[in-house]
Structure 1
Amino acid sequence: MVSAIRKYWPFHLMILPGFLLVLVYSYGPMAGLVIAFKKFMPSKGIWGSPWLGMDNFNFVMSLPDTSQVIRNTIIIALMKMVVGLIVPITIAILLNEVRKAAFKRTVQTLIYLPHFLSWIILGGILIDILSPSQGIVNKLLGLFGFDPIFFLGDNRWFRFTLVFSDVWKEFGFSTIVYLAALTSINPVLYEAAEIDGANRWRQTWHVTLPGMLPIIVLLGTLSLGNVLNAGFDQVFNLYSVPVYETGDIIDTYVYRIGIEKAQYGIATAVGLFKSVVSFIFISLSYFLAYRFANYRIF
């Protein structure tokens, strides 16, 4: 043990700043979770506030909005997970068929750019282009005789708008991962399939997809950890009161209760509930990733 430390001390020293940052900003604030079991009063502080036990949790579960918020979170997260898995796989396979390197690199760059933009910027862009009166999308729909659609203010369309815009922002990043997986497939397999009379579709179905399967299973199982993470940044910048019914998620619910209404104990209870459930799903996802994709953290 001592010899190993002496040998690798530069590496331990290198990770020390990162370890301290995680310790101070991630683990240190966890002491504040005790607020979930107290009637928090800022004047008395965390430790001086009276204990309530599980009253905050019971109160949250009795609220009429709680079940709707949890349902919205799960539905939106699952939709994003499914579509966010299918679209990049499809685009990666299509790009892999492109033979002109310049065109391929250009497309990769264009679809990857939105990943670097914050939801504050993209939220403003989406509000403009999806406007029912002046937005370019509704103007194009009007040319074909369709009535304007209030994408960000209609409960029938809001969830689909969230999923579409999230995939548009992130699928370029995932596509690069799948393109990297495609490079590991042995070209001899395609030659053998072609000799056996397989066309491009058959080659894709019997060679390409099986070759990508380990990374597909890995990313699919790891995404289970986000089943209660429907994207606070995106929803907060796009939603409004008319779409609370289908667009309000746990994170925005906590924000309104904790920040706007100053109900810190209740908001902490909701956040703790989400964290515990997310931890269970993350543990399950890593187990499944190890079971089906032989992926291990250590």
Structure 2
Amino acid sequence: MQNETGQIKRVLMKHARDAFRNQATIDAEWQALNYLGRPDFPLACDQSDRLAQILESLGCTIEWLPEDSSVGIDSIYVRDNAVVSDRGAVLCRMGKEARRPEPAALATGLEAAGTPVLGEIGGTGMVEGGDLIWLDGDMIAIADGYRTNAEGVRQLKSLLGDAVKEIVTVPLPHWNGPGDVLHLMSFISPIAPDLALVYSRMMPVFFRNWLQDRGISLVEVPDEEYDSMGCNVLAVAPRVAVMLEGNPVTRQRLEAAGVEVHTYDGSEISAKGCGGPTCLTRPLERG
């Protein structure tokens, strides 16, 4: 599991039916959670079904999280709640306060899926899964921003032990402030061991250079497709990717780099909550 691009064998997800529950729940929560629009419940459920069908057709077995009244509609974005290593999972402590109950709810699903829990981030520490990517098996790149802090990284390293040999800390910009959804994976999506999709205008220079020095080629997301989550792309296998519809230039650039691209309609489950396919999935086992 200590990579981001191997063939996904098993993946944890939460269906819109169980995260959103009903239209009344959506109506009560979406504005307070800073969604860009009000999701439509029946359409969201259809989109969850379609995304699952695409993943299953690409060889992924889906483990579904059940409905849980202790969490809100953001719980559809399962990646943020845990970091998964070869030894097991570390439960995160969310930087977004409204999401704090989610990791505990996820623990039940991890246990049912046979993934051991190594521990959890606590105290003043904060880590969100979208702020971390595995590189080269025992190396991680992790953000320093509004959702992940130095104390959280310290605890994470202690829980992972010698499973991680090196940590590269990537400072994030203020961008739109602490209320915005900005993660490390907001501007980088690994596509293969030697290929990543990036939005360079947001990247620290040292990190961009560091990736290229390691032989990783970069595919650039154009400005006009950043806000539509052109940079949020899930590698299902090396050079096999799933992305949100509506980003034709990014898709064309990926295909020119030899990537097989599959798209889904995420108007309700992705665009309005600013969570693309990487956010909607927590891979548990990769080949």
> Could you state the TM-score of these two structures normalised by the residue count of structure 2?
0.22
Higher strand share: 2
From the two aligned structures, give the one with the greater helix fraction. Answer: 1
Query: Normalising to structure 1: TM-score of the pair?
Result: 0.22
* Structure with the greater alpha carbon radius of gyration: 1
